[in-house]
Amino acid sequence: MGTQYSRVVRWSVAMTSVVAAVAVLICAVIGGAKGAYGALIGVGVVTVFFGLSILVVGRAARISPAAMMVAALGTFLVKMVAFAIVLVAIGHSTAFNGRMLGFTALACILAWSASQIITSMRLKLLYVEPDGKS
The answer to the question of residue 128 being in a domain is: no
Q: What is the pLDDT of residue 86?
A: 85
Asked whether residue 124 is assigned to any structural domain, the reply reads no
In a domain, 93, yes or no: yes
Residue 79 falls inside a structural domain: yes
Q: Examine residue 2 and state whether it is found in any structural domain, yes or no.
A: no
What is the full DSSP assignment across 63-97?
T-HHHHHHHHHHHHHHHHHHHHHHHHHHTT-SSS-
Q: Confirm whether 14 is domain-assigned.
A: no
Which residues span the domain enclosing 35?
31-117
For 57-73, how does the pLDDT look when each residue is reduced to its tens digit (9 = 90+)?
Answer: 888 888 888 888 899 89
Number of domain units in the chain: 1
Q: Which amino acid is at 44?
A: G
Residue 126: inside a domain: no
- pTM value? 0.81
CA nearest 40: which of 110, 108, 114? 108
Buried b (16+ CB within 10 A) or exposed e, 46-55: beebbeebbe
Report pLDDT digits (tens) over 83-128.
Answer: 889 888 887 888 899 889 989 999 999 999 999 889 888 887 666 6
Residue 87: inside a domain:
yes
